[in-house]
Amino acid sequence: MRRFLLTLAKLAVSAGLLAYVIVEAQRSDPETFTRLRGTAPQWPLLVLGWGCLLASLSSGVVRWHAVLRALGIRTRLAGG
């Protein structure tokens, strides 16, 4: 239960900080914020960005797996 509450608190703080940044951006320059909200997303760039993120996370997992194997700690990459 304690772990769940800690996770919930972390999510609440993250959501609060994100909301603060968005509200402050809107207050400081409403015209730019409105223009950004009205712009259509550039899907090819978004897909490319998600692909780069996935590649980065995957390479990190593989690197940590190699480090653990070098230390003699046996793990599996796949869950189960």
Q: Kindly list the averaged pLDDT for each block of 10 residues, start to end, along the chain of length 80.
A: 94 97 89 84 94 97 94 80
Question: In this predicted structure, what is the pLDDT of residue 79?
Answer: 62
Question: In this predicted structure, what is the pLDDT of residue 45?
Answer: 95
Q: 68: Cβ–Cβ under 8 A, 6 or more apart, which residues? A: 74, 75
Residue 71 backbone dihedrals phi, psi, to 5 degrees: -85, 0
Ranges of each domain in the chain? 1-39, 41-80
Question: In this predicted structure, what is the pLDDT of residue 25?
Answer: 86
Nearest Cα neighbor of 65 from 55, 53, 56, 75 is 75
